[in-house]
Amino acid sequence: MGEKSTNVVWHHATITRELREQQNGHKSAVLWFTGLSGSGKSTLAHAVEDKLHAMGARTFVLDGDNVRHGLCSDLGFSDDDRTENIRRIGELAKLFLEAGIVVLTAFISPFRQDRELARSVVPHGDFYEIFCDSPLEVCESRDVKGLYAKARAGVIPQFTGISSPYEEPTAPEAHVDTGTQELEACADQIIKLLRNRGVINL
């Protein structure tokens, strides 16, 4: 890491978040999908985005693997690097929020403290933690990349759920049973939440 920037001042745009939301016809929000590898985070995030897009909402999905190809390509999987990864995503999600977009993030984000940090950088009520709850054995059965097998063999160190902990959310905005419930029902649960909270009225 280089030295921290000190001679920077936040520039306030004349086109505000509220004006963008009015133009879009919906509010912006951060939907933070968290869960073990294989719990269905990315699949559910994209299914929700599909539904929102069909309604005419402006959306964007930030996916863990994709972000690590670019923005966070310099980070590994140590605890410190995981924390920095989530810090960057939280700040990026905040920018999408200001742009009037419903941003959906799909990251394991195993530590409660890091998720709370991501929540803390956006205005109160705009962060929706969505716990994709699937038993470890189900996640392993879906493991098309063979990551769990490699982790159990010691090939991949610090793998969440095997050799590194996952701290379940204690009070998520949505607790979704992605282990046994159909994808459509899971996506509908999130859409209902967004309607009840007044994010969308489409």
Residues with a catalytic annotation lie at 109
H/E run at residue 63: strand 59-63
Phi, psi of 32 (to 5 degrees): -105, 100
Q: Rounded to whole angstroms, what are the CA distances from 19 to 30, 31, 99?
A: 18, 21, 10
d(CA 30, CA 110): 18
CB 132 within 8 A of CB 107: no
CB 104 within 8 A of CB 48: yes
Half-sphere exposure of 172 (CA within 13 A, CB side): 22
